[in-house]
Structure 1
Amino acid sequence: MKNKYSSLVSVKKNIMKHSERLVQKANISLENAKMALQESLGQLQNIEQPTIGNISQFLASRELLERQRAIIRHNEEWIEYANSEVLEAKEQLKRDMTEYEKFKYLELQLIEKEIHKQKRLEAKDLDEVALMAHTRKTKERVA
């Protein structure tokens, strides 16, 4: 049954579905960030420190360690950003779901009101038909 809220409900449902997809994308991004951090931590563990050699080897090793630590810091920042994106997407989804449920409720209320109105009209019509039938039977008995 179409009413004034039907189109609004479908729009709100589409918005809610879009928000659900954003939450999924944010979760995927978070998982990718966590995997990148684990990978960079593993690479840091695999870097071997020279125990003997010239100063250039020690400096190169130190530079390699610093770069790997910078990658780790970057991945940690990425995780923080991805976490904030997930939280923001979840909050938006919550707001969109609330809006959808609100308009869905209003639509259902309007439908119930219309059904109640139709039932009253139907009952009124049945009473009228019964009254007409009763009047006709009464007239037939008198005549």
Structure 2
Amino acid sequence: MSKSRYEPLVKLKKKGLDTAERALIGANNELTSASEKLSRSYEELSHMTLPTQGSVGEFTQATAMIHAQHLTIDECKNRVHLAQQKQHQMRERFKAAMMDFEKFKYLEVQEMNARLKHLKGQEAKMLDEIGTMTYKRETL
């Protein structure tokens, strides 16, 4: 059977779908990584304490470390938010690519079914002709 006119488009859409899937996986990995880093930052902050005794320098140093950890947490929250946005975009792109691929795959299948139906019709006509020729030969 000859190739469908949709076959090149189906291959192209499949490549696009694969690319979108890889991008979605990458976005999921980025989100997971950012979430884990945020969790670790919160855990590190929970282990930090202000000294109850000691010099003002130690207190200032501990306060600066806690402040730096809060800044790290804010940065991690921002990364998580950006990763969530990217994941959403990649999910939408994947859905669109999947719909395009499925649409052209469906058209390809419909074209093949139409071609198969046409071939079956031709085969039926040929079998009728053969039957008619055989019948005429037997009656002679």
* TM-score bucket (shorter structure): over 0.9
Q: What is residue 137 of structure 1 aligned with on the other side? A: 138
Alpha-carbon deviations, 1:39-75, whole Å to 9, x = none? 1111111112111223222222211111100000000
What TM-score do you get using the length of structure 2 for normalisation?
0.94
What does residue range 1-143 of structure 1 map to in structure 2 within 5 Å?
1=1, 2-138=3-139, 140=140
Q: CA RMSD in A?
A: 1.1
What TM-score do you get using the length of structure 1 for normalisation?
0.92
**Take 2:7 and 2:20, find their aligned partners in 1: how far apart are those partners?**
20
Compare CA radii of gyration and give the structure with the larger one: 1
Structure 1: unaligned runs, 5 residues or longer: none
Percentage of matched positions with identical amino acids: 32
Structure 1: which 4+ aligned runs deviate by more than 6 Å? none
Paired residues, number: 139
Structure 2: unaligned runs, 5 residues or longer: none
**Take 2:126 and 2:64, find their aligned partners in 1: how far apart are those partners?**
91
**Take 2:106 and 2:45, find their aligned partners in 1: how far apart are those partners?**
55
Alpha-carbon deviations, 1:8-54, whole Å to 9, x = none? 11111111111111111111111111110111111111112111223
**Take 1:90 and 1:125, find their aligned partners in 2: how far apart are those partners?**
52
